[in-house]
Structure 1
């Protein structure tokens, strides 16, 4: 195998995951005041409402869909749905969510670049991460025609899932991706790069979103009332 190919699909995933996890932990421990989304809603709210809602709806669906679709073993879903139908479902649902997310992110990027006040208050990393996410969405949409052409045997989907499952079980094998079309491979590399940059950007606030879900399922807090010994009639009050 090409050493570059072997690095990006055999070594680079672990490098990105290590930085993603350790970097997030270190930033939370040392720079908690930077652990926020840096909202610019006060400067201009109209376009933000549409852009943010569309972006978050689309990106959450894509994140969940990619995680379940790639990491679910074929043997688990085969009794219920064929690989071909699963790929067609992924094309339709993922394509719809991708378009929704693309429109929302385009609105957010246009808002941040076109408004002078927002551009002046934006960090370079804010703009850079939006551009990288926008390019990643473009690559994801480009893969749709290739996936549709391959729907007859779902070969590409099975190869990508096998590679991802080998990565998370520490059995890396990059040889299967050699025959995969270039948009898929570039989409994977840029996706892993986003995980690499995650701890150094405003994306860390995603962890807070997961924490808020856990907060909903917290146990009830028990509050006990404290009885005060009030003075009886005719007695002087004592200081409590």
Structure 2
């Protein structure tokens, strides 16, 4: 069992992150032509606009909350006056609200990809996998926050998951912190690492393509052709 825990909570995360880094380098060097979001807006716009808006409005605060919860030690929060009760209320209600936005957006985007015939035909296998996996990750995150935390109120992920994660980052991994973590949290975390491993080989790479040159590019002039 100890070897299994070592693989799941030490080797697997490092394999996923190594794949994430090396995969991006390889993709950028040898497959820049396909480094794109492959927008399907011209096929169906309304559901895409609503779903994408909900997802992005939700996911950015959710990511920031994850960074704060995993990266900032519990003692530091207490030192600035954020006690356990205040922190958990914020995570439950503020995090839950943005989680609902994210989940609603993913449900709409996934339904659009599966039910709109033309969009489905243009979708690759990786598109389907990413959509369904992201939906699953968001669902498990919401389940962990709203259900598991209610059923097991004594569990505080900052005493287990956060410490495990910070140790992982500084290359001093300790799998024992994750052994007694509730199953829903474990599944959420493992699925999260899996999406990082798949990231370089999917359209998710478009996240890094910020059009910085757009703000300083010259205007494009269109001239009407005059027939003589």
Query: Considering the TM-score relative to the shorter chain, is it more than 0.5?
Result: yes
Unaligned regions of 5+ residues in structure 2, if any? 218-228
**1:74 maps to which residue?**
74
**2:59 maps to which residue?**
59
Distance in 2 (alpha carbons) for counterparts of 1:154 and 1:83: 12
1:15-164 to structure 2, matched below 5 A, reads: 15-80=15-80, 81-144=82-145, 145-151=147-153, 155-164=156-165
**Aligned-pair CA distance for 1:154:** 5.6
Does the Cα contact within 8 Å between 2:164 and 2:173 map onto a contact in 1?
yes
* Residue aligned with 1:78, SS: helix
Distance in 2 (alpha carbons) for counterparts of 1:72 and 1:208: 28
**CA offsets, 1:96-154, max 9 Å, x none?**
11111111111111111111111111111101100001111111111122224555x66
Distance in 2 (alpha carbons) for counterparts of 1:154 and 1:205: 37
Distance in 2 (alpha carbons) for counterparts of 1:72 and 1:129: 29
**2:221 maps to which residue?**
none
Structure having the higher Rg:
1
Unaligned regions of 5+ residues in structure 1, if any? 222-240
Distance in 1 (alpha carbons) for counterparts of 2:15 and 2:194: 10
**1:236 maps to which residue?**
none
Aligned pairs, number: 214
Give the 3 Å change call, closer, same or farther, for CA 13–92 of structure 1 in structure 2: same
Q: Please report the TM-score for the alignment, with normalisation by the length of structure 2.
A: 0.87
**CA offsets, 1:186-237, max 9 Å, x none?**
111110000010001111111124xx5xx49x9x99xxxxxxxxxxxxxxxx
Q: Please report the TM-score for the alignment, with normalisation by the length of structure 1.
A: 0.83
Distance in 2 (alpha carbons) for counterparts of 1:84 and 1:180: 20
**Aligned-pair CA distance for 1:74:** 2.5
**Aligned-pair CA distance for 1:158:** 2.2
Q: Let me know the Cα RMSD of the aligned residues.
A: 2.0
